[in-house]
A and B are shown apart, each in its own frame.
Chain A
Amino acid sequence: MVDIFDLFITSVLTQNIALTFILGMCPLIAISTNVKNAKGMGIAVIFVVTLTGIINYPIYLLLRATGTETLSLLVFITTIAATVQFLELFIEKYFPKMYNSFGLFLPLITVNCVVLAVSLFFVNRDYNFIQTATFSFGAGIGWFLAIVLVAGIREKLAQNTGIPRGLAGRGIVFIILGILSLAFIGFTGLSIF
């Protein structure tokens, strides 16, 4: 139980998937211009990452049992695309209010590398099912945290006119991300127990 909690904290803070592994940068840079959209995208990622992690794990076991791990990339990405499509239809039909707040971002998630990366990482690290579920959820939360932080800083910066024109727009996001990830390195060695 302690291990699981530790893994969760690790995947949210010390090994934040956006700021330590540098994943999911394209949507993070594109959608972090205001906090409202960033929240929508973040929540959608949490949903999809957790769900696809849980679905891909048994599929990987099946592939390994039949000796066709080579195809895992192809299978994972197809599962992700299908899950996203299904989730979009499901939420649109049964939770229209929720759909209005973040449904817009769902189709974009298929090309978010966080989702595929989580599935590849549990293979590389030999996680069991519980660990995979925890890690997927933690990674989603971590990415949500990163995009909301960046969006908050960008909203404040938008009122500032002192940014050099070469850095204006997306350039300055790299500097923000650099400083944030330095801050997250500070969490290294953090253990609750």
Chain B
Amino acid sequence: MKLIRLRYKKWYNISRDGLTTNNPIAIAVLGICSALAVTNRVDNAIAMGLAVVFVVTMSSLTVSLIRNFIPSRVRMVTYMVIISSFVIMVQLFLEAFFPLIAAALGAFLGLIITNCIVMGRAEAFAVKNPLRYTFFDGIANGLGYTYVLVIVAVVRELLAFGTILDVRIMPDTWTNWVAMALAPGGFFVLGLLIWALRELTNNFETVSE
């Protein structure tokens, strides 16, 4: 009974949208660059995911807070400035407390600024919705991004190094698949994952050509 009532709540629908039905990576195919570039190890993927959760939530909240004061002609530049301020915060935080992860992510940490998810949520949702809904939307989209990243990273690290989070899983006779640690592995794993997710959720893309 309670579950049925839950379905009519707006925040429930918003969260479900970000996590499954409109998942930023699998369904909307946004934010692919970082999803592929950092997923050769699980720890990098988790760090990147959490960084994006923080940036997308905080920047959406900020945009939503000042949405009535942003002139629509310069809104893109305004988003950019807001987003890059939060990215700089994350960068400084990681450099201070987790220098190894910051070094592994390198330039890709800064590239969160141009991650289409962050920009997309600001433009598509935050700029026309009140604070409380924006909060759920940001968190849900960030987490939807993170779990896809972690799935891809688990597959890639397992096949490329035989480990997960540096714990040896595969037997010692395992031959490392070098291609999995490089770019092609990322493309193939994500491609197959998108295929699987779309079959499972029955959410297909209609080609209009």
A residues bordering B, Cβ < 8 Å?
A: 19-26, 29, 33, 70-71, 73-74, 77-78, 81, 107, 110-113, 115-117, 120-121, 124, 158, 164-175, 177-179, 181-182, 185
CA distance A116 to B119 in the complex (A): 15
B residues bordering A, Cβ < 8 Å?
A: 29-33, 36-37, 76-77, 80-81, 84-85, 87-88, 91-92, 106-107, 110-111, 113-116, 119, 179, 182-188, 190-191, 194-196, 198-199, 204-207, 209
| 28 pairs from A and B in contact (CB 8 Å cutoff) | A20-B182, A20-B183, A21-B37, A21-B183, A22-B33, A22-B187, A23-B111, A25-B32, A25-B33, A29-B32, A70-B92, A73-B88, A74-B85, A77-B113, A110-B76, A111-B116, A113-B111, A113-B114, A113-B115, A165-B204, A166-B194, A167-B194, A167-B198, A169-B207, A171-B191, A171-B194, A175-B188, A178-B185
Q: Which of B80, B187, B206 contacts A77 (CB 8 A)?
A: B80
Residues of A within 8 A of B205 (CB): 168-171
Task: For residue B109, give the distance in angstroms from its CB to the closest CB of chain A.
Answer: 9
Apart from A171-B191, A185-B182, 4 more pairs, CB < 8 Å = A78-B80, A165-B204, A171-B194, A171-B205
Check B33–A164 contact: CB distance below 8 A: no
Check A120–B110 contact: CB distance below 8 A: yes
CA distance A173 to B113 in the complex (A): 24
Residues of A within 8 A of B204 (CB): 165-166, 168
CA distance A70 to B196 in the complex (A): 41
Q: Which of B85, B87, B184 contacts A178 (CB 8 A)?
A: B184
CA distance A77 to B82 in the complex (A): 11
CA distance A178 to B88 in the complex (A): 32
CA distance A116 to B182 in the complex (A): 22
**Chain A, Cβ-Cβ closest to B38:** A22
Task: For residue B31, give the distance in angstroms from its CB to the closest CB of chain A.
Answer: 7
Residues of A within 8 A of B187 (CB): 22, 174-175, 177-178, 181
Check B33–A26 contact: CB distance below 8 A: yes
Q: Which of B33, B184, B195 contacts A113 (CB 8 A)?
A: B33
Check A121–B107 contact: CB distance below 8 A: yes
Given A158-B209, A167-B191, A168-B204 in contact, is the A19-B114 Cβ separation under 8 Å? no
Check B184–A77 contact: CB distance below 8 A: no
Task: For residue A44, give the distance in angstroms from its CB to the closest CB of chain B.
Answer: 16
Residues of B within 8 A of A121 (CB): 107
